[in-house]
Amino acid sequence: MTTGKHSLSQYNIYIFAILSMLFWGMSFVWTTIVLKYYQPITTIFLRLLLSSLIMYILLKALGKLERIRKEDWGMLLLMSIFNPFLYFLGENFGLKLTSPTIGAVIIGLIPVFTPIFAYIFLREKLTMFNYLGIAVSFSGILIMLVTSNFTLTTSVNGVLLLFFAVFSAIFYSIVLLKMASKYSPLTLITWQNIIGLVLFLPVFLIFEADGFLEVKINAELIWSLLSLAIFASSLAFILFAIVIKRLGVSRTNVYSNMIPVFTAVFAFFIIGEQFTTRKIIGMLIVICGVFLAQVRFNKKLKSSDET
């Protein structure tokens, strides 16, 4: 028999997934704004610094920061190397060479490649219906990325850097799933950001510390940095960790296809990026693909709740 509690829990998972993608979609716009003032590594370093301080102080005050067991520090370090360290290097330097929407479109390819790695490392299986949804959403992404003459509208180096971020995110998801069964998302994301901050510190000091002091602070810069720290580097990762524990790597990453949709909308309203008919068609196809990939799984969850 279905209970309100089960139903609420089920729909909360989907809401959490969509919210995490919304925050990450907006992060491409916020990052583009910050990159007008700071270099990529400085942007990452400040984002992680603010997020780490907020998360650590909050969890310590609430007594929610769990102690990491000695045998798990290696996995936590590996998780942090993939994301935020490698992922943000690829994303921020890629965004320096492309637009927010193009960056988000390529990051939206994460669910296309995830099932392959999830099968190899986790033996996760998807139905043909799931693969059909992924294929449909991928076609929507291609419509947004490629012109009518079948040429890319952006830097090849920027695309390669963003693909580097894609694969970093996939390996991060796999390690995160293993750690999520042992610790709360709040604890994992706090330590992940702190370790990432330590990894970026020497890179920041060597390459970009001098330029950091020359920037004039203003409201636009402060708001964008705080938004990145609170929503993109903290809340989005917490929600993502909750969802991945429930849905698994492949099904959770299908939602990544919604990132370019959110990015295109906010890039249009906030920084005036062009919003073409091709982008609108592509976004609609992406949304259809996401729902298509989830339909059969939704039915399965409903059946299990009723037994």
Give dist(CA 101, CA 115) in Å, integer: 24
Q: What are phi and psi of 146, to 5 degrees?
A: -105, 140
Q: What is the pLDDT of residues 211-248, one digit of tens each?
A: 898 899 999 999 999 999 999 999 999 999 889 888 88
Does the pLDDT value for residue 278 go beyond 90? no
User: Is residue 90 very low, low, confident or very high in pLDDT (cuts 50, 70, 90)?
Assistant: very high
pTM (predicted TM-score):
0.81
Closest CA to 278 of 54, 102, 79: 102
Give dist(CA 158, CA 102) in Å, integer: 10
> Buried b vs exposed e over 139-172: b needs ≥16 C-beta within 10 Å?
ebbebbbeeeeeeeebbeebbebbbbbbbbbbbb
Q: What is the pLDDT of residues 194-203, one digit of tens each?
A: 999 999 999 9
Task: Check residue 196 and give its pLDDT.
Answer: 96
Find the distance separating the first CA and the last CA of the chain, reported in whole Å: 6
Out of 61-65, 117-121, 128-132, the most confident range is 61-65
* Token digits of residue 155: 């830097």
Give dist(CA 201, CA 42) in Å, integer: 9
User: Is residue 301 very low, low, confident or very high in pLDDT (cuts 50, 70, 90)?
Assistant: very low
99 near 154, Cβ under 8 Å? yes
The β-bridge partners of 298 are: none
CA 266 to chain centre: 16
DSSP 3-state of 169: helix
Give dist(CA 161, CA 88) in Å, integer: 10
Look at the alpha carbons of 44, 19, 222, 193 in this order and tell me if their dihedral is positive or negative: negative
Give dist(CA 100, CA 286) in Å, integer: 17
251 near 72, Cβ under 8 Å? no
Q: Is the pLDDT higher at 36 or at 258?
A: 36
Side chain identity at 43, as an amino acid letter?
T
Closest CA to 193 of 161, 162, 163, 228: 228
